[in-house]
């Protein structure tokens, strides 16, 4: 099969990935072999490729927004899925099921968790494997390309929205408006939340307006009203004090990314007093995935997709890094 591997983590302006031929993997006991039909290009793939995240698996194949068809079923995996079923492969791949975090329903905080496209080979390939217990059933009414961004951008955006604790009918600020943010905004709008978007790109601003944002302005501009909650999707620590200052009393900022540049010092009176708070978002649980995909089934989301052939994954990552498109890129084998 054809596949990409991260051979020399570094700037995507160079050549951190190599394209080549690999043997089709065999599904281990409890796993499914999946023929990849579409794979989203996530900013986390960029962080893995550029070395912002430490190497977990040398020469890993990135990609964790995989829509595919079950091609084979490993021993003891039968029953949940059958050959020919359409399934999703997401970021979370394994948790221990025994630690305190897992037992209280916070498996995203499991210290033994493992991830697709970081600890195990992912979907920048023609085939991938997934433990059957972590494969996802997908909603009808979407194309393969539309489904792919839902499997991380959508899921992590949903968890960020929950962590931000924005009240129904409240006011939400979104900083950065890419693949995850444009889906999160739509979920918020279904709850009667008023959404203000702060972002830099012309295409992103136009998309935010098209989707129904109450206002759209520059990434460092003040929103037109105090925010009950905010979500920072841009991996830019300098924006944390900007967002904190925009919060109303008692407001919450959720930082959604797996990687963030350094946060400058916060001024207690300007940024934190009046019970304003900041929280992080760490991966997701399987229940987050199921709940978000249920919402996607009930509310037809508009997904801004930019397709690339699988053999142009390096170009897709460069375009993502350069802000060349709004919405989400998707690789087509």
CA-nearest of 65, 203, 211 to 142 is 65
Task: Estimate to the nearest angstrom the gap between the alpha carbon of 199 and the chain centroid.
Answer: 18
Average of pLDDT values for 40-60? 97
User: What tokens appear for 309 in the block?
Assistant: 């052939």
Burial status of residue 34 (CB atoms within 10 A of its CB: 0-12, 13-18, 19 or more):
buried
Give me the chain's average pLDDT, please. Answer: 97
Question: Considering the entire predicted model, what is its pTM?
Answer: 0.95
Contact 96, 112 (CB under 8 A): yes
Q: State the pLDDT at residue 168.
A: 84
- Phi first, then psi, for residue 241 (nearest 5°) are -65, -30
**CATH 3.90.180.10 domain position(s) in the chain:** 2-151+283-332
224 confidence band (pLDDT: 50, 70, 90): very high
Average of pLDDT values for 208-220? 97
Q: Is the per-residue pLDDT at 199 higher than 80?
A: yes
Which residues partner with 68 through β-bridges? 36, 87
CATH topology of domain 2-151+283-332: Quinone Oxidoreductase; Chain A, domain 1 (3.90.180)
Q: Is the per-residue pLDDT at 16 higher than 90?
A: yes
Instruction: Read off the pLDDT of residues 276-301 as tens digits, 9 standing for 90 and up.
Output: 999 999 999 999 999 999 999 999 99
Taking the CA of residue 269 as centre, how many other CA atoms within 13 Å lie in the half-sphere pointing to its CB?
0
Tokens 């700037």 locate to 11
Instruction: Read off the pLDDT of residues 60-82 as tens digits, 9 standing for 90 and up.
Output: 999 999 999 999 999 887 678 99
Instruction: Read off the pLDDT of residues 296-319 as tens digits, 9 standing for 90 and up.
Output: 999 999 999 999 999 999 999 999
CATH topology of domain 155-280: Rossmann fold (3.40.50)
Task: Estimate to the nearest angstrom the gap between the alpha carbon of 214 and the chain centroid.
Answer: 24
Q: State the pLDDT at residue 76.
A: 83
Pairing of β 136-137 and β 86-89: antiparallel
Q: Which residues neighbour 298 within 8 Å (Cβ) at sequence distance 6 or greater? A: none
- Phi first, then psi, for residue 22 (nearest 5°) are -135, 160
- Phi first, then psi, for residue 313 (nearest 5°) are -60, -35
**CATH 3.40.50.720 domain position(s) in the chain:** 155-280
């Amino acid at each position: 099969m054809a596949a990409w591997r991260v051979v020399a983590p570094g700037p995507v302006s160079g050549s951190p990935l190599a394209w080549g031929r690999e043997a089709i993997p065999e599904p281990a006991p409890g796993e499914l072999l999946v023929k990849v039909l579409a794979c989203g290009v996530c900013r986390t793939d960029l962080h893995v490729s550029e070395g912002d995240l430490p190497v977990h698996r040398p020469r890993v194949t990135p990609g964790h927004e995989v829509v595919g068809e079950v091609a084979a079923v490993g021993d003891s995996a039968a029953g949940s899925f059958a050959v020919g079923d359409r399934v999703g492969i997401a970021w979370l791949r394994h948790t221990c099921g025994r630690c305190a975090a897992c037992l209280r329903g916070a498996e995203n905080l499991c210290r033994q968790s493992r991830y697709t496209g970081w600890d195990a080979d992912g979907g920048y390939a023609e085939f991938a494997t997934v433990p059957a217990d972590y494969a996802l059933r997908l909603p009808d009414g979407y194309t393969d390309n539309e489904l792919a961004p839902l499997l991380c951008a959508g899921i992590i955006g949903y968890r960020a929205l929950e962590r931000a604790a924005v009240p129904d009918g409240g006011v939400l600020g979104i900083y950065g408006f890419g693949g995850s943010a444009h889906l999160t905004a739509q979920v918020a709008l279904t709850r009667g939340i008023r959404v203000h978007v702060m972002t830099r790109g012309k295409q992103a601003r136009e998309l935010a307006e098209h989707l129904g944002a109450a206002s759209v302005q520059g990434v460092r501009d003040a929103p037109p009203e105090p925010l009950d909650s905010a979500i920072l999707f841009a991996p830019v620590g300098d924006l944390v004090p900007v967002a904190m200052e925009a919060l109303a009393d008692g407001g919450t900022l959720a930082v959604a990314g797996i990687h963030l540049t350094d946060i400058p010092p916060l001024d207690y009176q300007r940024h934190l007093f009046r019970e304003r708070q900041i929280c992080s978002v760490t991966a997701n649980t399987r229940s987050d995935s199921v709940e978000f995909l249920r919402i996607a089934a009930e509310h037809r989301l508009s997904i801004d997709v930019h397709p690339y052939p699988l053999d142009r994954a390096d170009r897709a990552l460069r375009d993502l890094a350069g802000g060349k498109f709004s919405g989400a890129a998707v690789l087509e084998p």
